[in-house]
Amino acid sequence: MQSVILALYPLLKGEFDLGFFQIGAITLTFQLTASLLQPVVGAVTDKHPFPALLPIGVGFSLSGLLLLAVAPSYPLVLLAVGLIGCGSSTFHPESSRVARLASGGRYGFAQSVFQIGGNVGQALGPLLAAFLVLKHGAQGRPHVAWFGLLALLAIVILLQVSRWYRAHLEERTDEREQEHLMTAAPRFPPRLVRRTIGVLLVLMFSKFFYLVSISSFYTFYLIHQFGASTGAAAKLLAVFLFAVAAGTLIGGALGDRIGRRRVIWFSILGCAPFTLLLPHVGLGLTVALSIVIGLTLASAFPAIIVYAQDMLTHRIGMVSGLFYGFSFGMGGLGAALLGFVADHYGIVFVYQVCAFLPLLGVLAVLLPDVRPPVTLQ
């Protein structure tokens, strides 16, 4: 549902005569509303779990989709994507906790499965939008309402998941176990935690600033640089997003096996040669390199999330909300800033500058070796 916004950019640009900065502002609005509430929601639900937030979050997204289908002005488009972002901010902290509770100790794999659902959805969104919306040309936007059926289906499913979650919480009648789950003492000194979280946030900045340069502007880059059609560019964007989904699944499972620190190090710094090469090759190699970049960079996110959860086991909701929120916020700020740069210096220049961001992955050398805690039996 969220990736429909990305696929609509060429249509919205033509309908409302938008510049690249205004396109970036749409992403900024979505990402900021998707990010600002997440740490707050996570901190509150660490102490007071709220299973009903799962279907409520998708209800916000449903409202935003329906408004996006009929919004007659650019400000109402911003309001629509803001509602979709609010749905994300209320959904992710609790759902991330549910994924960890259901993991059976395989935290990285569970986080990857959870995230890959979103990534596959991101990849399918542009394809479905091309089929349901873009094929109708300038009159296609009302057909966005069809995606509301997905929201209704999600609400039905999440009502069942929230019942499982509530029952799972009620089954924990041992008050000492409840206290351990909710208020366990920190595992690491506060100074080390602050330094490590700071390094992780810098790595997240490099990853998501680069990814937003592709997810928000890849279609425009292909159209401008290689003369691709709007439909073909949307399909190639979907190919990249499928690579991101595959990388997410690989990263979590690999982190369980070889350690999350190694995965973080390799996935961010390891893709730097490919990002540096991307702006200087033809269409075929551009597509191939984008697949490699998507696979490599995406493997870092589940590893980073679970690494931080392992460090702050007493604040699962807060740390999940912090990193999901930061990722969305960085994506939004990146879209607005890169849109401004694209307006003044061109899309190609954006890719040339962003190519250096993965070099920040060298900071992973500062991360301590964090292992998951022993699970309660």
Predicted confidence (pLDDT) per residue in 260-283, tens digit: 888 888 888 888 899 999 989 999
Question: Is the pLDDT score of 141 beyond 50?
Answer: yes
Name the residue ranges covered by the structural domains of the chain.
3-366
Q: What is the mean pLDDT of residues 113-132?
A: 79
Residue with more model confidence, 109 or 163: 163
Question: Is the pLDDT score of 174 beyond 80?
Answer: no
Question: Is the pLDDT score of 70 beyond 80?
Answer: yes
Q: Which of 4-18, 122-136, 259-273 has the lowest mean pLDDT?
A: 122-136
Question: Is the pLDDT score of 185 beyond 60?
Answer: no
Question: Is the pLDDT score of 110 beyond 90?
Answer: no
Question: Is the pLDDT score of 377 beyond 50?
Answer: no
**pTM listed for this prediction:** 0.69
pLDDT digits (tens, 9 = 90+) for 361-370: 888 888 887 7
> Cβ–Cβ contacts within 10 Å for residue 239, how many?
16
Residue with more model confidence, 106 or 83: 83
pLDDT mean across residues, the chain: 82
Instruction: Specify the pLDDT at position 176.
Output: 41
Q: What is the mean pLDDT of residues 64-92?
A: 89
Q: Which of 93-107, 204-218, 232-246, 324-338 has the lowest mean pLDDT?
A: 324-338
Instruction: Specify the pLDDT at position 374.
Output: 54
3-366 CATH: 1.20.1250.20
pLDDT digits (tens, 9 = 90+) for 282-319: 999 999 999 999 889 888 888 888 888 888 877 777 88
Q: What is the mean pLDDT of residues 221-232?
A: 86
pLDDT-based confidence at 179, cuts 50/70/90?
very low
Instruction: Specify the pLDDT at position 130.
Output: 78
pLDDT-based confidence at 59, cuts 50/70/90?
very high
Instruction: Specify the pLDDT at position 302.
Output: 84
pLDDT-based confidence at 376, cuts 50/70/90?
very low
Percent of the chain with pLDDT over 70: 93
pLDDT-based confidence at 170, cuts 50/70/90?
low
